[in-house]
Amino acid sequence: MERRLARGEDIPALAALERACFPEGADEAMLERFLSDGRHRFLLAEEDGTLLGYAWYEFVLDEGYVGNVAVAAEHRRQGVGRALVADMLSDAASLGLAFLTLEVRESNLPAQSLYRALGFLAVGRRKRYYEDNGEDALIMVCDRMPPADPDFEEPETVHEEA
C-alpha cells in the first residue's frame, strides 16, 4: 500500500469512492475546489494505481476539521483506514494544528472504533445532525497530536486570482 497527498488527476476516483460511501458526499467540482483552495488536505492510499481509500480535512488557524474518511468496501478491515487516520494526524501535527475534530453518525460503530483506536474521544453530540434520517452526530476530538514528520514540506502557497 502506498500513501500520498491527492492530486488533481485523482479527483474522478476520489469522487467515485465518495459517492459510493456517502450519498450526499462531495462531487467532483467540490473536490476540485477543496484540492486547490489551500485550506484542505487530502491523503490517499493506493495499490498498483487503484484507490483503496482517502481521508481529508480542512484547517483554519490551528484547528483541523475532518471531512471524510473512506475505504473501498472490498479493502476494509485491512488496516487502510487506520493508516490514513494516522497519516492525517501526522500531517496535521506537521502543519502545527492543535487538534482534529469530526462528526460521526451515532450508529457508525466501525468508524467510531477506528477513531478511538487512534486517540479520538467523544466529547459531545449534535442532535438530529443528519437530515436523511434525523440521526445524532457524535463529536469526536483528538488533541494528543503525534510528533511532526521531520520530512514534512509546507504545502505551496495558493495565490488566489485578484
Minimum CB distance to ligand COA, residue 135 (Å): 12
Minimum CB distance to ligand COA, residue 160 (Å): 30
Cell (9 digits) for 19: 459517492
Q: Under DSSP, is residue 7 helix (H, G, I), strand (E, B) or coil?
A: coil
Residue that is written with C-alpha cell 462531495 in the block: 26
Residues that bind ligand COA (CB under 6 A): 21, 68-71, 76-82, 104, 108-111, 113-114, 117
Rounded-to-integer distance, Cα 89 and Cα 124, Å: 20
Minimum CB distance to ligand COA, residue 52 (Å): 8
47 among known catalytic residues: no
Q: Which of 28, 58, 103, 106 is catalytic?
A: 103
Cell (9 digits) for 12: 474522478
Nearer to ligand COA, 121 or 155 (CB): 121
Rounded-to-integer distance, Cα 59 and Cα 155, Å: 12
130 among known catalytic residues: no
Nearer to ligand COA, 101 or 108 (CB): 108
- What residue type is assigned to position 51 of the chain? L
Closest residue to bound ligand COA by CB: 81
Minimum CB distance to ligand COA, residue 126 (Å): 13
- Phi first, then psi: give them for residue 134, nearest 5 degrees: 70, 15
Long-range contacts at 154-157 (CB < 8 A, ≥ 24 apart):
155/38, 155/41, 157/38
Nearer to ligand COA, 33 or 82 (CB): 82
The residues assigned a catalytic role are 103, 115
